[in-house]
Chain A
Amino acid sequence: MTLGARVIACLDVDQGRVVKGVNFLDLRDAGDPCELAQVYNDRGIDELVFLDITASHFDRGITLDLVRRTADTVFIPLTVGGGVRSVQDIDHLLRAGADKVSINTAAIARPELLKEASERFGSQCIVLSIDARRDPEMPSGFGVTTHGGRQSTGIDAVEWARQGEALGVGEILLNSMDADGTKSGFDLSLIAAIREAITIPVIASGGAGALEHFPPAIEAGANAVLAASVFHFGEISISQVKSELAKAGIPVRQVGIDTT
């Protein structure tokens, strides 16, 4: 009788196809996102994230089609993010079948977008995605970055999470740009610092490379763990992650755990 820690798969999508960058730079193709979503659903994933990295706004129609196709066949929560700039973008994604929309760069440029979006659509469907990197010049030691971690914004990551919560977002998607692609584990001090500052759920992302990396992220204060390439390339299964969490005494949704 306890809320389970969520295991989330993130699919980076470019013009309707799945890709995954190592540190967002070196892209590899891994198939049709909708089919992949169904496979993940069958294997007991708790939630899915589509991160749309399509460069041109012109091609966004492809993404909306993909969201529609996926929402029509996969009956688990779907978050869509990437290039979300306006209340209208959010409206389109929610109407297409997304349950939550994650906002990143556009909120840095104009924080009021978070307030407008959460007031209009409800906090529960607005996710603030933060690309954080260790930065000794920031009070918390973590700064907010853009452009795949290459550009510093001069904003403190912990303060930004706090502000996001105050502006009404329902969840933080916390990406460690230091850990991303390294497969050396989640940035536990980043997770702990954010957890201490806010009371909305936190999804830990970046750095998952081995089974033993997952329980410490939850123990550090995350409510969900997100991974991409280790899942896509079959290095780690959903079932293994859930079993590993359960072994550490962390409640998980039983669907997907291999009980045989």
Chain B
Amino acid sequence: MTVSPSVVVLDYGFGNVRSAVRALENVGAQVVLTSDFETAMEADGLVIPGVGAFAACMAGINAVRGSQLVDARLIADRPVLGICVGMQIMFDRGIEHGVDTAGLGQWPGTVDQLQAPVIPHMGWNTVHVPSESELFRGIEGEEFYFVHSYAAKTWAMSRSDLYQPDPYQRPAVVSYCEYGESFIAAVENGPLSAVQFHPEKSGNAGLALLGNWVSTL
């Protein structure tokens, strides 16, 4: 018998994280909502949620030593999943209202405003999923719930940037979505995965995606 994997949802004081906790529980994880460094380090999986402004999220992340936490987990090859702004802050920087904020810098690139007639991009949209994706296995054609005004548009990582702990040196699996322009909807890069949409708000498709992630823990 397998023991259900433990997941910490990082609590740094932002928005509705209750749904993320319940959705992860729904797919079989034992979930703790905390900002405690050791607990977050020891969990099988760490989820970084995030809504609102990039700068405010980074301030919250820094207040709980989130940068060191993510670094430490990735070096130890321990899975991390970023959601929405929790994905955006994995990039080098975010530009919102002309304010340029440093992100966690796990991935090269900038998060900036989507160019579309109606902003935010709010609602259900489909995603272009490469066939190697594990996160989207079985739900490749489904729709997911997005709410955001900013996004990373281009994937700029070269092979040499890849995490050393990944013995296969696999290239990252990058899924795209379109709203006014093409942007990154999801990244699977060794232990670090992230999605721009809200799987915890994407009905059965979202639960299936979280289930796929939890099953890798």
| B156: min CB distance to chain A, Å | 23
Given contacts A122-B53, A201-B120, A254-B143, contact A3 B16 (CB under 8 A): no
Contact partners of A224 in chain B: CB under 8 A: 123
Q: Is B179 an interface residue (CB 8 A)?
A: yes
Taking a contact as CB atoms under 8 Å apart, the answer to whether B120 and A123 are in contact is yes
Contact partners of A123 in chain B: CB under 8 A: 120, 149
The 8 A CB mask of B137-157 against A (1 = contact, 0 = none) is 000001101111100000000
**What is the CA–CA distance of A99 and B121 in the complex, to the nearest angstrom?**
15
Taking a contact as CB atoms under 8 Å apart, the answer to whether B16 and A97 are in contact is yes
**What is the CA–CA distance of A47 and B177 in the complex, to the nearest angstrom?**
20
A interface residues, Cβ below 8 angstroms from B: 1-6, 41, 46-47, 68, 71-73, 75-77, 94-99, 121-125, 170-171, 199-201, 223-224, 253-255
**What is the CA–CA distance of A98 and B128 in the complex, to the nearest angstrom?**
29
Please tell me which one of the listed residues A76, A94, A122, A199 contacts residue B117 in the complex, with CB atoms under 8 A apart.
Answer: A199
Taking a contact as CB atoms under 8 Å apart, the answer to whether B203 and A99 are in contact is no
| B130: min CB distance to chain A, Å | 15
Taking a contact as CB atoms under 8 Å apart, the answer to whether A77 and B145 are in contact is yes
Contact partners of B119 in chain A: CB under 8 A: 199-200
Determine, out of B19-27, B71-79, B103-111, B186-194, the stretch whose residues face the partner at the interface.
B19-27
Contact partners of B148 in chain A: CB under 8 A: 124
| A50: min CB distance to chain B, Å | 14
- Name A's interface SS: loop
Please tell me which one of the listed residues B15, B120, B124 contacts residue A253 in the complex, with CB atoms under 8 A apart.
Answer: B124
**What is the CA–CA distance of A72 and B204 in the complex, to the nearest angstrom?**
14
Please tell me which one of the listed residues B22, B53, B122 contacts residue A201 in the complex, with CB atoms under 8 A apart.
Answer: B122
The number of inter-chain residue pairs (CB within 8 angstroms) is 116
8 residue pairs A–B, Cβ–Cβ below 8 Å: A1-B177, A3-B121, A72-B18, A75-B207, A94-B15, A99-B147, A124-B51, A223-B118
- Name B's interface SS: mixed
Contact partners of A73 in chain B: CB under 8 A: 22
Taking a contact as CB atoms under 8 Å apart, the answer to whether A1 and B145 are in contact is no
Given contacts A4-B124, A75-B26, A97-B18, 19 further A-B contacts (CB under 8 A): A1-B128, A3-B125, A6-B124, A71-B22, A72-B18, A95-B16, A98-B16, A99-B19, A99-B147, A99-B201, A121-B15, A122-B53, A124-B51, A170-B122, A223-B118, A223-B123, A253-B123, A253-B143, A255-B143
Taking a contact as CB atoms under 8 Å apart, the answer to whether A121 and B52 are in contact is yes
Contact partners of A255 in chain B: CB under 8 A: 142-143, 203-205
Taking a contact as CB atoms under 8 Å apart, the answer to whether A3 and B123 are in contact is yes
Contact partners of A6 in chain B: CB under 8 A: 122-124
Name the CB-closest residue of A to B178: A1
Taking a contact as CB atoms under 8 Å apart, the answer to whether A75 and B124 are in contact is no
Q: Is B126 an interface residue (CB 8 A)?
A: yes
Taking a contact as CB atoms under 8 Å apart, the answer to whether B118 and A71 are in contact is no
Taking a contact as CB atoms under 8 Å apart, the answer to whether B201 and A201 are in contact is no
Taking a contact as CB atoms under 8 Å apart, the answer to whether A124 and B120 are in contact is yes
Q: Which of B16, B51, B177, B206 gathers most chain A CB within 10 Å?
A: B16
| A229: min CB distance to chain B, Å | 24
Closest 6 CB pairs of A and B: A122-B52, A253-B124, A97-B18, A124-B147, A4-B124, A253-B143
Taking a contact as CB atoms under 8 Å apart, the answer to whether B124 and A3 are in contact is yes
Taking a contact as CB atoms under 8 Å apart, the answer to whether A124 and B201 are in contact is no
